[in-house]
Chain A
């Protein structure tokens, strides 16, 4: 089955499934994820049953083979309950499943894709040495040609899902240019650093990874070197839009929390929702969610039609993450002092939004992508 157009029924169906999963299974353990900085294995098993690890993988290798629009809606819906889990799955789909499905050799697909699509294995791509995807001019991770094999050495500061990853798909200097090389976690010379805890997205642990003369067969190279930039662009446009989707889910969560609180909370003998200042804040959040949805739908449809969406997805990441930062903060302020204490989840929502804005390239760097064609 190869879905080229998204049907609304398919999207509605997956959203219903995720809503049910979120309300019944994620909501009760949200604070556990926060406290332990870990997503429980029971949740991850369920995610596998639902086919969420391999949404963008082909059915030939046990993938769900949904189109990109459906994937984006699924990430958004899941982010309402757990942005950390949504980010984990977004990276799995974009940084390994989609990458190998599109650019892997048959041997690589047969070797890795079934396990990646079902979540038995986790894969992640390491692009810029500094954790960005744009800073690739000075890659100091080197792959030396040693006949049949490559010897990889270098440091990558920030690997998403790195703590649980089995495959690192590493951008290296391969002599004449750049290339992606698959390195397994157990490979000699792989050194995984301490988890980097960020202010938000707790439970989604990134790590620094170092490689010291890691020997891998040349067959671990992904795609032809001339395709490397295409692979990078595919990761960029998909992950930027993915971050936009997760941030939209975060905004939806902020809005529902603020609506609930402002209807329940009474001051001056009436619910605070009856004050225009509160109504305006909620209206602004709701308006920004609509703007985000329109953007996500348009750009993911373009991607399903195989159009180049690099600039549009950069715009989506910039505008949606900045809206999410602003709106989650307003939702916290609606809660007054209660917004600052851990009894209410809104303080977590704010931390998640700030983190999403800060990862996957700075918005200033993305603005340079957007304005590029204006320069004669």
Chain B
């Protein structure tokens, strides 16, 4: 099979449509939401009308039924203009809807997917706890069987969309003695369940239009119909979901990096038209070239990963056994692109600030917001140190 690194005509058109829409409808509103630290409900409704919130959901459940490549294009374009909007969509579609598609029963799909796909309901995902960050398996939230139901107790932190969500995929320890493989179960929590509440909302350096909250479970009764996947198989649900999540974070960073490059070029052209000399400086030209090289490499990396992810998720969805090699390749690939491209984006933004000087660090400039947003991509869904650990251990054949 030949290497075909190119988008189809439909995908190119999809990108143009997405770009036109978000540049005219979303971009002008962003600095307001960033400043107010407010969830962009109006923008979410508009994006939902475009079908973005159910982009990869099969049509029979009310989605658009588009591919992972389209999803990548959407997140790349959103990441270019605002990390918050990309994160809101990623947590909803990549982290809440995806595990329901991969591991949900037909009843669960019929119950949850249509309202999620239409964007009427927002989805979220909650794994991280105060004591379980990088050590994600160390969950203290418990799920105690009570008849056919489970009773959840504990708390989650840093949950994106947590205060906006109707449905949240939550992980809890059903039996700590069994460890992560066998002792963790995934649940679909509904907002109105008794014993569930939203706690503290974080104030953050960036990503300020996306809400990040604490979730509290106090004797929260969850019926067996809301168990996602098999009892005790929750950690695999989490890992498989995050394998995809990381690739899509990478593609968001790709958008941010490309945008920083574009803004640098715009700034230099403007400077030239005003009689400035920056464009002719080799110190500036070399920086720009370095960013262009890294963006070019990142693009191939991200879309190659998305192609593999598509195959990987097809196997999981078919309930066939996932070949170990495929899982390892996707897992390593997503770790590589998440860590690499997030750092590419940070460098591209740092370069844009060097080029713009004082203008680049002044409140209200797009690159100033990009700078504050950029750090999170190196942290969430596994810090880049954790990604490096995954990559190296996998290469060396050491168990995680």
**Interface residues of A, Cβ cutoff 8 Å to B:** 131, 157-158, 196-200, 266-269, 272, 277, 325, 329, 332-333, 336-337, 339-343, 347, 350-351, 354-355, 358-359, 362-364, 367
Contact = CB atoms under 8 A, between A and B. Distances in A.
Contacts of A277: 385, 388-389
A354 B361 contact: yes
Given A354-B371, A367-B283, A340 B354 contact: no
Given A333-B385, A336-B379, A358-B357, A267 B135 contact: yes
Contact of B384 (A198, A333, A339, A340): A333
Nearest to B137: A268
B176 interface: no
Contacts of B205: 340-342, 347, 350-351
Nearest to B283: A364
Nearest to A37: B363
A277 B376 CA distance: 19
B372 interface: yes
Interface residues of B, number: 41
Nearest to B382: A336
A358 B358 contact: yes
A329 to B, nearest CB: 7
A358 B350 contact: no
B215 to A, nearest CB: 15
A355 B135 CA distance: 34
B350 A325 contact: yes
Nearest to A277: B385
Nearest to A326: B350
A359 B358 contact: yes
B358 A336 contact: no
Contacts of B380: 337
Nearest to B388: A277
B354 to A, nearest CB: 7
Given A198-B362, A198-B363, A199-B363, A362 B204 contact: no
A157 B206 CA distance: 27
Contacts of A342: 202-205
Most buried by A among B131, B134, B380: B134
A355 B372 CA distance: 12
B284 A341 contact: no
Interface string B339-357: 0000000100010011001
Contacts of A157: 358
Contacts, number: 100
Nearest to A158: B358
A198 B379 contact: no
Contacts of B264: none
Contacts of B346: 329
B76 interface: no
B34 interface: no
Which 5 A-B residue pairings sit nearest by Cβ, starting from the closest?
A: A347-B205, A342-B203, A267-B135, A197-B363, A364-B283
Contacts of B304: none
B131 A355 contact: no
A354 B354 CA distance: 10
A282 to B, nearest CB: 13
Contacts of A351: 205, 372
Nearest to B284: A364
A343 to B, nearest CB: 8
Contacts of B202: 341-343
Contacts of A325: 350
A342 B358 CA distance: 24
B158 A355 contact: no
B379 A341 contact: no
A363 B354 CA distance: 8
Contacts of A272: 134
Nearest to A355: B361
Given A277-B385, A342-B204, A336 B133 contact: yes
Interface string B97-135: 000000000000000000000000000000010010111
Contacts of B357: 358, 362
Interface string B170-208: 000000000000000000000000000000001111110
A226 B347 CA distance: 43
A340 B283 contact: no
Nearest to A270: B135
B368 A266 contact: no
Most buried by B among A267, A336, A340, A355: A340
Nearest to A337: B158
B203 A341 contact: yes
Contacts of B203: 341-343
Contacts of A347: 204-205, 375
B256 to A, nearest CB: 16
B128 to A, nearest CB: 7
Contacts of B376: 340
Given A336-B379, A343-B202, A354-B353, 17 more contacts: A158-B358, A196-B358, A196-B362, A199-B362, A199-B363, A266-B131, A269-B135, A333-B378, A333-B383, A333-B385, A336-B133, A341-B202, A341-B212, A342-B202, A347-B375, A358-B358, A364-B354
Contacts of B79: none
Contacts of A266: 131
Contact of B134 (A336, A358, A363): A336
23 contacts: A196-B358, A199-B371, A266-B131, A267-B133, A267-B134, A267-B138, A269-B138, A333-B379, A336-B134, A336-B383, A337-B133, A337-B157, A339-B375, A340-B205, A342-B202, A343-B202, A347-B205, A351-B205, A351-B372, A355-B361, A358-B357, A358-B360, A364-B284
A9 to B, nearest CB: 39
Contacts of A200: 361
A345 B134 CA distance: 21
A197 B362 contact: yes
A359 B375 CA distance: 21
B324 interface: no
B372 A199 contact: yes
Interface in B156-175: 157-158
Given A199-B368, A363-B354, A341 B204 contact: yes
A332 B375 contact: yes
A120 B247 CA distance: 57
A235 B87 CA distance: 46
Interface in B371-397: 371-372, 375-376, 378-380, 383-385, 388-389
